[in-house]
Amino acid sequence: MNESINELIARLHQIEDRLEEEFARNRAAFHVKLRGRIAEFAEEIVQKQRRFKIRLPQYVISANLLYVLVAPVIYSVIIPIALVDFWVTLYQHVCFRAYGIPRVKRSSFIALDRHHLAYLNGVEKLNCLYCGYGNGVFAYAREVAARTEQFWCPIKHAIRVRDPHQHYLKFVDFGDAEGYRSKLETFRKDMQNLDS
């Protein structure tokens, strides 16, 4: 890989680290304390948050009718999402063992914590669970697919890929036949040596 690409990737990682530092500062501003994957607030903060909760009857009465009518369509997608979750989990347990690729830790991608916020009512909490699960499953599936791609076909596309996964930037350039043949085993070994 050429040196300027390596430098750009390093800068990208630095920016990601700075972003995480900013997220941590923002959490601190709202007095969020993390215990592992559990977020906690002091009781006085929870009491302040509860003042912003819209009670369920008021929430339902003021709801946009169109939003209510399309809710069954939105929630019907839970079935295919759950199937993707199941199938991707099964896939990686079978195939990744055969390839020697470390399995993706599902819990690193599916975050279900927003339903604990005191300022959300029951419907909002359900919505947050749904979105956290759905987006988490797709992020989890993306990482499983990314590891598969690095193992089998670590070649960049000829056209620009919007928001490529983290492994993509290291792939060989489109048309680099020599690079592909000479580096394929290295890509596979790198994937096999990943921390899950």
Helix (H, G, I), strand (E, B) or coil at 23: helix
pLDDT at residue 1 tops 60: no
Q: What is the C-alpha to C-alpha distance for residues 130 and 49, in angstroms, rounded to an integer?
A: 22
Q: Model confidence over 36-74: pLDDT tens digits? A: 888 888 888 889 999 999 999 999 899 999 999 999 999
Q: What's residue 169's pLDDT?
A: 87
Q: What percent of the chain has pLDDT over 90?
A: 71
Domain boundaries, the chain: 70-192
pLDDT at residue 20 tops 90: no
Q: What's residue 3's pLDDT?
A: 74
Q: What's residue 171's pLDDT?
A: 93
Sequence-ordered list of residues with C-beta below 8 angstroms from that of 52, at least 6 positions apart, any chain: 119
Q: Are 10 and 17 in contact (CB under 8 A)?
A: no
Q: What's residue 23's pLDDT?
A: 83
Residue 181 token pair: 């043949």
Q: What's residue 103's pLDDT?
A: 96
Q: What's residue 8's pLDDT?
A: 84
Q: Model confidence over 60-118: pLDDT tens digits? A: 899 999 999 999 999 999 999 999 999 999 999 999 999 999 999 999 999 999 988 99
